[in-house]
Amino acid sequence: MAAVTIYHNPRCSKSRQTLQLLQENGVEPEVVLYLEDTPPLETLARIIVMLGVSVREFMRTGESAYKDNNLKDSSLSDRQLLEAMVEHPKLIQRPVVLANGQARIGRPPESVLEIL
């Protein structure tokens, strides 16, 4: 099986459930604690392309950093939004699993099984 990576926040129940589901299916993924080891802008951009979503769709819009930094502003470029996610990693959707050249957000956790 190809390498599997999970961008994980252990404080998030969906992230914990997704990691557990992977392990129950015999997958020991590389765990990236993205709040501590924030992916660079280029990696985030690649994940977004793999997911087939917009940069804004990949953001957690309910986070205080979204409101505090006026990220709702529609004039902001994708690069500016990506830079905000690098600066404030809580804005990154979670959990994200990468496998076999594809990516899925683990909401619901079972969605990640499609790419294994």
Positions annotated as catalytic residues are 12
Burial of 49 (0-12, 13-18, 19+ CB in 10 A): exposed
Length of the chain, please? 116
Q: Which helix or strand (DSSP H or E) is residue 83 part of?
A: helix 78-87
Residue 91 DSSP one-character state? G
Exposed, middle or buried, 68 (CB in 10 Å: 0-12/13-18/19+)?
A: exposed
Q: Beta-carbon neighbour count of residue 44 at 10 Å?
A: 23
